[in-house]
Structure 1
Amino acid sequence: MSASAPVRLWRAYVPRWAHAPLSGEGAARFGGRWNPVGMPTIYAARELSTAWAEYNQGFVQHPALIAQLELSGARLADLTTSEGLEAVGQTSEIHRCEWRDALDRGLVPETHRLQAELDARGFDGLIYPSFMSPGGTCVALWRWNVGGAELKVVDPEGRLPKTPASWL
């Protein structure tokens, strides 16, 4: 799927990084469902409530900063429908991948294999169903603001800090 019209996304992230809403370094540091350690990735949701649920993972309600993002020109694989899954050679079983367990056992999770395949095929990211918010959908974006995919934060009054100095 190519995003022709801009897509509105929501990202909940650690307030300490308020100055860097388009950084995927947290995901690169720890790895995630759709990215191996070392690969910057933006995780966002298409609904505000889904962003909040995914950020907290159903555990303690941590403080978060929520930013609205606008994505355009991205080539996204849609894993939310059977047609979309079939188009990339998958079934809904990919959504039950125990990626953390695989990493803990020194294995490459199937979600990471699929991400590498999609990246090689020119996809900028993917759309997947939320695990924490039934009916919600998320986006994992591993390529943005280079080439076709443009991601920007919606901050019309310039309220986000430009440097980490606000935390010193």
Structure 2
Amino acid sequence: MPDTGQKLTLWRAFVPQWAHMPLSGDGAARFGGRWNPVGAPAIYAARELSTAWAEYNQGFVQHPALIAQLELSGARLADLTDRNILAELGVSDAIHKCEWRDAMDRKQVPQTHRLRKSLLKDGWHGVVYPSFMSPGGTCVALWDWNGKGGPRLDVIDPDHRLPKSPASWL
């Protein structure tokens, strides 16, 4: 599991319309995702740029995207790419094949959401998990960021190119 003092570089691909909100988890909260139920904000990012692109497009049509580099520090992330960690948590690597969308569509709680709830209770801020769309790539789902005493997530924008409001889309 990544050390809480370690800085981690992440890549996030998202819909350009939301360029003014690169650290928002509102889209994930609106629709729910692999590691978050509807109503719970989450940031989904990748540890590799190519993985961010593959995950964003999900193997479908190549949609326009904004890709931002992020820096995460102070986060407790359960590394679910490590079989020993999975065993400690009492889950198998089958969790990576969890049909979470299907479960949500049937009004059931996906296995990933149950694990998230348990990890949150134990003080974890998110998980590292293998990419489904980019074999060998890894992703991060973050449930807690930029709150008082929690992990820090920053967008790397040294030239201040990201817009500060949605006005750029009008």
Q: TM-score, normalised by structure 2?
A: 0.97
Alignment pair present for 1:79 and 2:52:
no
**1:71-120 alpha-carbon deviations (Å, 9 max, x no partner):** 00000000001012112211101111100111111110000000111011
Q: TM-score, normalised by structure 1?
A: 0.98
Alignment pair present for 1:40 and 2:52:
no
* Structure 2 CA distance for aligned equivalents of residues 76 and 87 of structure 1: 14
CA contact (8 A) 2:28 2:38 kept: yes
Cross-structure match for 2:53? 52
Match of 2:151 among 133, 140, 149: 149
Q: Match for 2:86: what amino acid?
A: L
Same amino acid, percent of matched pairs: 71
* Structure 1 CA distance for aligned equivalents of residues 4 and 55 of structure 2: 23
Give 4+ residue runs of structure 1 displaced > 4 Å after superposition.
none
Alignment pair present for 1:165 and 2:162:
no
Where do residues 15-34 of structure 1 align in structure 2 (5 Å cutoff)?
15-34=16-35
Q: Calculate the aligned-residue CA RMSD, in Å.
A: 0.7
Q: Match for 2:52: what amino acid?
A: A
Alignment pair present for 1:68 and 2:69:
yes
Cross-structure match for 1:96? 97
Alignment pair present for 1:122 and 2:123:
yes
Q: Match for 1:165: what amino acid?
A: A
Q: Match for 2:101: what amino acid?
A: R
User: Deviation at 1:7?
Assistant: 0.4
Q: Match for 1:152: what amino acid?
A: D
* Structure 2 CA distance for aligned equivalents of residues 139 and 59 of structure 1: 21
